[in-house]
């Protein structure tokens, strides 16, 4: 074992000891979250590695995706797996259940993500005994990775990315040996871009395990229930021929930018409808409440309120509908990007729906997606610095149908060019480098 690996093991042993010591505090924290409604009311034991489902016999693949975005990125790969290997059992773990659970193919198991403590991870892995584990994006949990490696379980990191902030932190003398050690335990890393691949090599991921397939977030799916489709069609009827634009995934403070633009546009187009979709539903309720106190007529989605004449603002305070809602608007402004400290959101769903796509400049790792789309067609994504540039762009779009149509066409064409074959590529790489060997073991 080399010097870096020895230091990595030392740092890991310290992490393992600390995670053992703080386990009681983490359990109290989970109970507090349950009281606040942030954890499932009856499935809290799953977070401690205790199962609520029976493990079926036979090989099992575990997909671990903590966030909603990671979960949605995992689903197309899971569906491809079900398509080619229906004999395999598949387990998906997430921190949230909304949306993701409704998108899963029949037979795929769901549990809440176990916390990364020795007891929880040992209990989880002993019970589910997976043949291979697919982690999404940047989920490098030391106990999960080290215990899995010790048990001989194959590991893959899909849509792998590391933010610049994390890269600097992980490159620091204290953490670098640990990160290097963790990455050495993987059989496959699929970075979401070539730059991310370089980052992982600089963190000493073995070069031969890095393979490219494309960004899984381009794999936008539009599976919807009849009820969801009926709801969207009903909204289309309510909107009629009014001018419409959407501000999606906005964070606190960004609503002031969007509402300022709305005010200017409404002076020119009195029947304008602005659709506001905050990143978090509670933020939507807060926005609606504030606007109502100011005397403005607002329609709130969770209350099933209609977009009637005189109502110019529609606030969506629900989860999981965004990719369908984009079909209502010719223009989508993607939030989480207008203030320093923010890191952008996925623009591909809006592009797939044929929207003219705008975003700010604080976009984090989504900068690679913007560059790729702009490289294919400079009109596919427009970045604006703030309220004034956004106003100018919106007025131009609404006053010149040809300009707007060119933007819409460009974004959709760029999306289709970039999304073509991504899931098939990811499946082929995953099967060749991980699953083939993992399933041969007959675990």
Residue 79 has a pLDDT of: 94
Residue 440 has a pLDDT of: 77
Residue 34 has a pLDDT of: 83
Decide which of 40 and 29 is more confident.
29
Chain center to CA of 344:
11
Residue 443 has a pLDDT of: 46
Cα(39)–Cα(124) distance, rounded to whole angstroms?
A: 18
Residue 98 has a pLDDT of: 60
442 has a pLDDT exceeding 60: no
For residue 273, the number of C-alpha atoms closer than 13 Å in the C-beta half-sphere is 26
Q: Which of 108-117, 223-232, 268-277, 351-360 has the lowest mean pLDDT?
A: 223-232
**3-state DSSP call for residue 333?**
strand
237 has a pLDDT exceeding 80: yes
Question: Cα–Cα distances in Å, from 321 out to 9, 304, 336, 380, 390?
Answer: 44, 14, 18, 23, 24
Phi/psi at 274 (nearest 5 deg)?
A: -105, 120
Give me the chain's average pLDDT, please.
92
Total-model pTM: 0.83
Q: Tell me, what DSSP letter sits at residue 107?
A: T
Instruction: Determine the average pLDDT of the residues in 426-432.
Output: 94
37 has a pLDDT exceeding 80: no
Decide which of 427 and 219 is more confident.
427
Residue 138 has a pLDDT of: 87
What tens digit of pLDDT does each residue of 295-305 get? 888 999 999 89
Strand partners, 425: none
Instruction: Determine the average pLDDT of the residues in 330-350.
Output: 95
For residue 198, the number of C-alpha atoms closer than 13 Å in the C-beta half-sphere is 4
Percent of the chain with pLDDT over 70: 97
- Please spell the DSSP secondary structure of 329-373, one letter per residue: -SEEEE-S-SSTT------HHHHHTT-EEEE-S--GGGHHHHHHH
**3-state DSSP call for residue 159?**
strand
Cα(87)–Cα(85) distance, rounded to whole angstroms?
A: 5
Catalytic site residues? Answer: 70
Question: Cα–Cα distances in Å, from 370 out to 184, 219, 293, 365?
Answer: 31, 16, 38, 10
Closest CA to 186 of 166, 161, 167, 205: 205
**Would you place residue 320 in the very low, low, confident or very high pLDDT band (cuts 50, 70, 90)?**
confident
Percent of the chain with pLDDT over 90: 77
Chain center to CA of 369:
14
318 has a pLDDT exceeding 50: yes
Strand partners, 300: 315
Phi/psi at 437 (nearest 5 deg)?
A: -75, -40
Cα(442)–Cα(398) distance, rounded to whole angstroms?
A: 61
Residue 36 has a pLDDT of: 80
What tens digit of pLDDT does each residue of 6-31 get? 999 999 999 999 999 999 999 898 88
Chain center to CA of 60:
24
Among 30-44, 47-61, 62-76, top mean pLDDT goes to 47-61
Cα(363)–Cα(370) distance, rounded to whole angstroms?
A: 9
For residue 145, the number of C-alpha atoms closer than 13 Å in the C-beta half-sphere is 22
Q: Tell me, what DSSP letter sits at residue 310?
A: T
Instruction: Determine the average pLDDT of the residues in 157-162.
Output: 94
What tens digit of pLDDT does each residue of 187-231 get? 999 998 889 999 999 999 999 999 999 898 888 665 666 777 788
- Please spell the DSSP secondary structure of 204-248, one letter per residue: T--GGGB-----GGG-------HHHHHHHHHHHHHHTTS-EEEEE
């Amino acid at each position: 074992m080399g010097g870096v690996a020895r230091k990595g093991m030392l740092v890991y042993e310290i992490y393992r000891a600390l995670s053992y010591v703080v386990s009681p505090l983490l359990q109290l924290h989970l109970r507090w979250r349950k009281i606040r409604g942030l954890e499932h009311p009856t499935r809290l034991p799953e977070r401690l590695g205790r199962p609520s489902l029976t493990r079926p016999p036979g090989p099992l693949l575990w997909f671990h995706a903590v966030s909603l975005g990671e979960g949605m990125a995992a689903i197309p790969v899971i569906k491809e797996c079900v398509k080619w290997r229906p004999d395999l059992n598949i387990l998906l773990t997430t921190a949230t259940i909304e949306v993701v659970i409704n998108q899963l193919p029949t037979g795929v198991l769901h549990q809440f993500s176990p916390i990364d403590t020795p007891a929880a991870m040992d209990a989880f892995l002993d019970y589910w005994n997976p043949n291979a584990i697919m982690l999404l994006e940047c989920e490098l949990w030391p106990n999960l990775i080290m215990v899995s490696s010790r048990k001989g379980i194959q590991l893959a990191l899909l849509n792998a990315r590391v933010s610049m902030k994390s890269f600097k932190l992980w490159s620091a003398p204290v953490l670098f040996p640990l990160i290097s050690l963790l990455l050495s335990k993987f059989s496959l890393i699929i970075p979401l871009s070539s730059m991310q691949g370089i980052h992982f090599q600089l963190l000493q991921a073995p070069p031969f395990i890095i393979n490219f397939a494309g960004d899984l977030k381009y794999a936008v799916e539009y599976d919807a229930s009849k009820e969801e489709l009926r709801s969207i069609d009903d909204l289309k009827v309510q909107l009629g021929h009014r001018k419409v634009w959407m501000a999606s995934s906005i964070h606190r403070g960004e609503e002031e930018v969007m509402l300022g633009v709305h005010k200017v546009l409404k002076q020119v187009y009195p029947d304008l409808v602005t659709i506001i979709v905050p990143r978090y539903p509670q933020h939507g309720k807060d926005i609606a409440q504030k606007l109502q106190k100011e005397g403005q007529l607002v329609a709130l989605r969770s209350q099933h309120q209609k977009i009637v004449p005189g109502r110019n603002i529609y606030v969506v305070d629900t989860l999981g509908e965004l990719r369908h809602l984009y079909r209502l608007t010719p223009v989508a402004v993607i939030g989480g990007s207008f203030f320093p400290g923010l890191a952008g959101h996925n623009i591909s769903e809006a592009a797939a729906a044929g929207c003219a796509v705008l975003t700010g400049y604080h976009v984090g790792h989504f900068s690679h997606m913007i560059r790729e789309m702009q490289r294919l067609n400079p009109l596919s994504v427009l970045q604006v610095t703030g309220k004034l540039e956004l106003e100018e762009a919106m007025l131009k779009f609404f006053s010149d149908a040809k300009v707007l149509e060119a933007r819409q066409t460009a974004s959709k064409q760029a999306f289709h060019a970039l999304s073509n074959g991504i899931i098939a590529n990811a499946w082929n790489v995953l099967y060749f480098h991980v699953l083939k060997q993992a399933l041969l073991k007959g675990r």
